[in-house]
Structure 1
Amino acid sequence: MQSPRLNKSCDQCRSRKVRCIVPPAQPRHVACTHCIKRNETCQFSNLKRRLRAKDPSTPQKGSSNPTPSAELFIDHLMRNPSESAVLYDEFSILKAHDDRVPSSGIAFFSPKRVDSLVKRLADTRLEDLIHQIDKTIRTRLLARPEREISLYTLAKAPTQLEVDPEADSHVQRYFEVLHPIYPFLDRRAFEEKARISNVLHLLGTDYAFCGLYYAILALGCQYDGFSSFIPDNNRAWKFFQISLSRLDQILTSSESLANLQALTAMALFATSAFGHQLDRPLLAAASRMVLALRYHKSILNEDSALCHRIFWVIYHLEKRYSFQAGTSSVIADCDIGCPIQTAPESMIGGYNWLLSSVRYSRILSIAYASLFSVSASTHSDDTLLASVDHVHSVLEEWRQSIPLEFRPKEPLQRRRLIDGASKEIALRTHYYYYHIIIALERLTLHVSRDIARSENAMRALLNTAREVINLTRFIDVEPYTPVFILAILPLSALFILFDFVIHHPSDPETRGYLTLLDIVAGHFSQLDHASSGAIPSSYLSEFSHMARQYVQTVQRKPDTAHNAPLSESSGGLSATHTTTTAAVETNSMPNPAMGPSDPALMEGVDESSLDNLYFLTPDSDWTVGMHSLEEFDPREFYGSIFL
C-alpha cells in the first residue's frame, strides 16, 4: 500500500488560490511564506489520489519509457483473480463519471462539472435541463410512447410486396448520393436485376434480394422527400419494414454475399435515420457474417474485389459505431489481411473516400484501445499522454493526406459541394476529424500536469467547437442526415462553449462564443421545426439564454466577485483556464524579471479578475525562473478541478 503523499500547497494557500512558496531554508511542508507573514498555522493535507489498478508491467508516473504495455488488464486479473480495479462503465449517453473521460463526444457532464456550473449560475435549471436532454437522447426520439420499436416487432409486422412506380428514381438517388460513401454493391448487376419484367415474382422467391431491394428503396426515397423524423406511414419507413420482413430468413440461412449485402443496406438505413435503437443489432449481425465469410482474409473464391469492398464498408461502420458508443470493436485489426480495393465511385475530385474512411476507422481503433478501453484506464498518465501524442500524429497524417478542398481545418467552400455525394463526404470528413479531436483534448485536460499542454488542449477544444458550429450551415436538416452530424457533434460543441462562457464570463472571446451559442441554438430550433416537434430540441436554446443572462449579470456588477469560489471538489473542463491563470492580475501584468519564487507575484490576486486572461503559454512571464513545467502539477496544486 502506498504511503500518503502531501499536497505541494498548504490548505490556506489552496483556499486563497495563490501559489504556495516555501522558503529554501525551511524544510518542505513546514511553513510557507504566506502563512509565516500572516502568522497562521501552515497545514499540508494528504493528496487525494485517483485509484487505479496497479500492474507491475505498466509504466508508472515519471517512467522514462511511457510506451504502453502489451499486457492487457485481463492478464493481470488472471494472475490476481480476486483483485478488482476502479473502472467505470460508459453506458450513460450524456453523463460522465468524475474520474473518467469517455470517448463519447456528448458524455460531458460529470457531477463535479454540473456542481461547478450550478454554483456559478446560482440556478438549478441546468440540472433539470441535463436530465431532459439525457432522457430525450435515450429514447432516440424515435417511438411514440405507446408504441415499442424493435427489430422483432418490425420484422413480424404484416407486409405486402409491391412495385413502386418511382422505384427507378429512388434507386438512382441511392447510387448518386450514398453509393459513393458506401460502395458495397455492383451497381450494374443490381439495376439489371431490379428492372426485370417479373421483379415482383423474384422478390417473392429471393428473400436476400428482397431485403436488399427494399432497403435500397428506403434509403433512396429519403432523398426524394418521402420520409420523416419518426416511424410513420411514410414511404421510406414502409419500404424498410418490408425489407425487415426477410430478416429471419437471412439470419437463419447460410452466410452468403447476398445475405450480407441485405444486412448492410438495412444497417445503413437504421444508422442514417434512427440511431442506436435499430442500427446496433443489424450492424452486429453484418459484422459477424462478414467475419464468418472470412472476407477479412485475402484468399477468396468469389468476386474478391466486391467481397473486400463490403468488408471495408462494414469495418468503417463498425469501428465508428464502437468508438461513439464506448465499446470495443468485434473486428480484430490484427487478423485483417485483405487489400483495400479501389472504388471508382468513391473517387470525388481526386479524393479517395473509401481509403480515407478506412484509415480514419483504423485511427479510431487505435485511439479506443490505447486511451479509452478498460486496459487503457489502468495506464499511468505519462503512458496515456504518450498515446495521445501518437494518435495526434497519425490523425494529422490522415488530415494532410486529404485534398485541400476536403481537408479539415481548411475553409469548406459551398461551390466545391457540387452534388449530394460531395457534400456528404465533405461534412463527414470534417466532423470525423473534430470528433476525435474533442475526445483527445478532453482526455489531455484530464491527465496533463503541464500548464502549456493544458492551455493548448483548451484552445483546441474551443477552436473545434467553433468550427463544428460554423459547419452547421451546410447540414441538411432532413431525416436522411446521420444523427452524428445532425445532433451529436453540434451538441458537443454547445456543451464546450457553454461551460467555458459560464466559467469565464469576462473573457475577450466570450461575446463571440455567445453568438456561436445562438447559432447552434438556432440549428436545434430548426431541427425541432423540421421534425414538427418529433425531435423536441428547441429547448436547447436555454443554454444560450442562461449563458447570455449570466454574462450580462456579471457585466452589470463588475465590483462583485462573480466567480463563485472553486472548492477542491469543483469540476469543469474550463475551470482549468480560470485557475491556471491565477499567477497574474488582469490590470497588472507581471514583470518579466519576476519569477514564480517571488511572493509579490501572487500576493493580493483577486480571483474575480482572472477571467480576462488565457492560459499561461510556454513563454509566459510567470514561467520565468521555473526549472521545468514538470515541477508544477496543476491537479496537485489546484485540487480536482482538472477533472
Structure 2
Amino acid sequence: MTGPMSYLSICSSPAIRWISQVASTPEFASSASTFSLDTTRTLKMDKKMSSNREHEPDHDTARIYMNAYFQQSLESVFAVINRGQFETRLDSFFASGQKNDDAEWYALRNAVYASGCKVYLAQQCQTDSFDLSQAESWKYFENALSVHTELVYMRSGLMAIQALVTMGFYTEGLGNPALEYMLISSAARLAQSKGLHRQPVETWNMQQGEIRNRQWLFWIIYAYDKHIAYRSGRPSAIDDDDISCELPNAQDHHDINPNAAFVFQVISHAKVASRIAKDLTSVKSSKDHPTVLAQRAQGLECRLNLWRDSIPSDLQPGIPLSPTTIASPSLYPVLYLHFAYYGSLVAIHSIFVYPWYSSTNWVETSHSSKERIPISTTTLVEASRQIILAVKYIDVRRPWPAWLVFFYPLLGLINIFIYILKHPNLPTVPADLALMDVVTGHFGYLEFYSTSKLSFPFVGQLTNIARAAAKKSRGKDRTSMSTSHMEATSGELDTDAADRGQFTAINEVHSVQILDTIQTNHAIVRAIR
C-alpha cells in the first residue's frame, strides 16, 4: 500500500524523514501514522457478520431498488448485468413464491438491492441520508457476502462472477469497508478458471451471443482490476500475457448499453495503466537502469496521449466542460476519463519526482534521470493542478465512489504539497496553496455531510505545513536581501521581469479557476441549508 503508485507512500518512513527535515515538523510523523492507520483500517470489516440474514424487500420495494440500480447508480454504465434478463428473473422469482433460488442468484439480487438501496435513499434529501443509506444497504450486501464461499468454491455460472463484480462496485462507495480489491480478485480468478480470458475456439461450441457476453464481462473485470491496482499500489490479479480474449466491439454492444463507447475507452486506458505498472512501478522494474526507466516513461506518456487523442471531444480530458455536460449523466464518464488521464501522468512521473524515490542512489548517479526530474516535475504538478480543479464538479451528496471523492483529490493535494516544500519560493506558491485550500474545503464538506463519519484532519495538516514552509522561506529571503549587496545587471532585471510575467499569467489562470471552484462549493452549501 505504500508503493510509488499509492497515496500512502507519503506515510512511508523515507517520506516522513524527508518531510520532517525539509519542513522542520517532527510532529508530522505522528500525523502520518494516524492517517495511515485510520485509512488502512477501512480495508477490512470491523466485526464479524451476523449469522442472521436480512429479510429481503417485497416485490414493489425490490423493483424500486432495481430501477435505482439500473437508472441511477454509476456502476450501471458498465452493464455488468443485463437489465432485461435480471428483471425477468426477478419477477419470476416473486411470482413463484421466492422459489428456484440458488447461491449466485441470491448474491446477485442482494448486491443489486444494496447498490440500488444506497442510491435511492441517498437521493431522498434527508438530513441523515448518508447514515440511513449506508446502514440499510449494508444489510443487503451482507446477504450477498454470506454466500461468498459458495460463489467461489462450488459449481456456478457467469452469474456468480457478475455477483462478485457488483459487490465490488458497491464496496467502493463512501463509508463502506474497502473490500473491492479482494472481491474483484475473486471475480478475476473465477473468470479465468472458467476460461473467460481465452478467446473461444470452434470446439467450444459457443454461440456468438455467449462469446460477446463473456468478452464483455472479462474486459470489465480487467479494467476494474487494473483501476484498483493503480489506486491501491497492490498487484493486479490478471497477467496481460495470458490473455487471448478479443476486445469487445463497442458497436456490437451499443444497442444493449448506450455507454459502450465510454466503456471501451475505460478498457483501453486500463491496458495503458497495466503497462505503466509493469514497466515503471513494479518491483522488477525498480531494479532496471534509470536510463531504461526514463525511456519507458517517455514511451508510456506518448502511448497515454494517443489514448487521450482517440477520445471524442465531448469526453476528452483537458477539454473545458460545457454547462450541458456538467448537468447531465455524462458527467461521471467525463470525470472518470479526466482523472484516469491525469492520474496516469502522475503514475508515470512520480518515481522521478517524489524525493523519497528520486533521491536514492540509482537516480542521483544517473545523468538521464537528472534530466528527467525537471521534466517530470513540471508534468506531475500540472496534472495535479488539473485534478484539483475538477474537484468543484464533485457533489459529495451523490453516491460517488471513494476513488472519485477521496483518492484523486488527496493525490492532487499531496503532489502540490511536495512541490511547495521543494520549491517554496516560486511565484506559483500562492495559487498552489489556494488549490490546497480547495481540497481542504472539499474534505471539510465531506465531514459535514457524513456527520463526521468521514473525517480526515490530515488534509488540513498538510495544507498548514505547506503554508508555514512557504512563509518561512519568504522570511529568509527578505532577511537575506536586506543584508546583501544587490548587484544585478539590467539584463538580469529584464529576465526576472519576464519570469514574473510568465508566473503571473499562470497565477491569473489558476486564480480564476479557483474562484470558480470556491463559488461552486458555496452554492452547494447554500443549497442544503
Tell whether the structures are fold-level matches, with TM greater than 0.5: yes
* SS of the residue 2:479 aligns to: coil
Report whether the alignment pairs 1:168 with 2:87: no
Task: Give a deviation string over 1:15-70, Cα, whole Å, max 9, x none.
Answer: xxxxxxxxxxxxxxxxxxxxxxxxxxxxxxxxxxxxxxxxxxxxxxxxxxxxxxxx
Alignment of 1:376-415 (within 5 A): 376-415=285-324
Identity score, percent: 21
Task: Give a deviation string over 1:347-399, Cα, whole Å, max 9, x none.
Answer: 44xx7112111111111221111112222122111111121122112111110
Report whether the alignment pairs 1:251 with 2:158: no
Indicate the structure with greater helix content: 2
Q: Where does structure 1 lack aligned partners over 5 or more consecutive residues?
A: 1-90, 97-101, 563-584, 592-610, 616-643
Residue 20 of structure 2 aligns to which amino acid in structure 1?
Answer: V
Aligned counterpart, 2:236: 329
* SS of the residue 1:441 aligns to: helix
1:488 and 1:178, CA in 2 relative to 1: closer, same or farther beyond 3 A?
closer
- Which of the residues 520, 537, 544 maps onto 2:439? 520
Deviation at 1:511, TM superposition (A): 0.9
Partner Cα separation in structure 2 for residue 589 and residue 109 of structure 1 = 46
Aligned counterpart, 1:132: 34
Deviation at 1:519, TM superposition (A): 0.5
Greater Cα radius of gyration, structure 1 or 2: 1
Partner Cα separation in structure 2 for residue 235 and residue 167 of structure 1 = 13
Q: Is the 8 A contact 1:142 1:274 kept in 2?
A: no
Q: Is the 8 A contact 2:316 2:338 kept in 1?
A: yes
Alignment of 1:195-344 (within 5 A): 195-196=91-92, 198=94, 201-202=97-98, 205-226=101-122, 234-273=135-174, 277-299=178-200, 301=206, 303-341=210-248, 342=250, 343-344=253-254
Task: Give a deviation string over 1:258-277, Cα, whole Å, max 9, x none.
Answer: 22222221122123346774
Q: TM-score w.r.t. structure 2 length?
A: 0.79
Partner Cα separation in structure 1 for residue 458 and residue 31 of structure 2 = 8
Q: Is the 8 A contact 1:203 1:210 kept in 2?
A: no
Report whether the alignment pairs 1:158 with 2:79: no
Report whether the alignment pairs 1:501 with 2:408: no
Deviation at 1:586, TM superposition (A): 11
1:430 and 1:155, CA in 2 relative to 1: closer, same or farther beyond 3 A?
farther
1:122 and 1:108, CA in 2 relative to 1: closer, same or farther beyond 3 A?
closer
Deviation at 1:127, TM superposition (A): 2.2
Deviation at 1:527, TM superposition (A): 1.2
Partner Cα separation in structure 1 for residue 261 and residue 318 of structure 2 = 19
Q: Is the 8 A contact 2:384 2:416 kept in 1?
A: yes
Partner Cα separation in structure 2 for residue 107 and residue 542 of structure 1 = 17
1:339 and 1:515, CA in 2 relative to 1: closer, same or farther beyond 3 A?
same
Deviation at 1:436, TM superposition (A): 1.4
Partner Cα separation in structure 1 for residue 98 and residue 309 of structure 2 = 48
1:210 and 1:521, CA in 2 relative to 1: closer, same or farther beyond 3 A?
same
Partner Cα separation in structure 2 for residue 330 and residue 157 of structure 1 = 32
More contact order relative to length (CA 8 Å, sep ≥ 6): 1
Aligned residues: 467
Partner Cα separation in structure 1 for residue 435 and residue 99 of structure 2 = 50
Partner Cα separation in structure 2 for residue 443 and residue 225 of structure 1 = 42
* SS of the residue 1:107 aligns to: helix
Residue 64 of structure 2 aligns to which amino acid in structure 1?
Answer: S
Task: Give a deviation string over 1:574-598, Cα, whole Å, max 9, x none.
Answer: xxxxxxxxxxx9966988xxxxxxx
Deviation at 1:238, TM superposition (A): 1.6
1:455 and 1:612, CA in 2 relative to 1: closer, same or farther beyond 3 A?
farther
Partner Cα separation in structure 2 for residue 117 and residue 401 of structure 1 = 40
Q: TM-score w.r.t. structure 1 length?
A: 0.66
- Name whichever of 245-254 and 227-236 sits farther off: 227-236
Aligned counterpart, 1:76: none
Partner Cα separation in structure 2 for residue 107 and residue 550 of structure 1 = 21
Partner Cα separation in structure 1 for residue 50 and residue 488 of structure 2 = 68
1:289 and 1:115, CA in 2 relative to 1: closer, same or farther beyond 3 A?
closer
Partner Cα separation in structure 2 for residue 513 and residue 259 of structure 1 = 47
* SS of the residue 1:284 aligns to: helix
Q: Is the 8 A contact 2:447 2:453 kept in 1?
A: yes
